[in-house]
Amino acid sequence: MIELTETTPQACCTPGLEVRLGSAAIKRLSEDLVLLSHPIRIQILDLLAQSDGHVCVCDLEGALPVKQPTVSHHLKLLREAGLIDCERRGLWAYYFVKREAMAALRARVSAQLALLG
């Protein structure tokens, strides 16, 4: 694994060239982009964002082109990232987007990518 530092060795051709994002910001941006890089996670977020209420896990499983264990795995990752949550009702879990967390992610990624652009 490459360790990122905030200092860059002296360059021979482009003096003053330095990384504009600190190592913590780079790590966070990388983690955000990895989280959003899987098509199933994007599809889950899209399905949940379409609903104002809660979506039953059985409906998610029916709408996605993968089997239940894969759906559960991606739901777990999105929950751990704080982008979605669920409410249990009897045997079923109903998932929903945490809109404030999604807005914060969108703002964070946009701001950091703007520095790179």
Contact 78, 57 (CB under 8 A): no
- pLDDT tens-digit readout, 42-97: 999 999 999 888 999 999 999 999 999 999 999 999 999 999 999 999 999 999 99
**Per-domain boundaries in the chain:** 23-116
Given a cut of 70, is residue 7 above it in pLDDT?
Answer: no
Percent of the chain with pLDDT over 90: 66
User: What one-letter code names the amino acid at 29?
Assistant: L
pLDDT of residue 27: 92
Cα(79)–Cα(81) distance, rounded to whole angstroms?
Answer: 5
* Measured distance between the N- and C-terminal CA atoms of the chain, rounded to whole angstroms: 25
Instruction: Write the CATH number of the domain with boundaries 23-116.
Output: 1.10.10.10
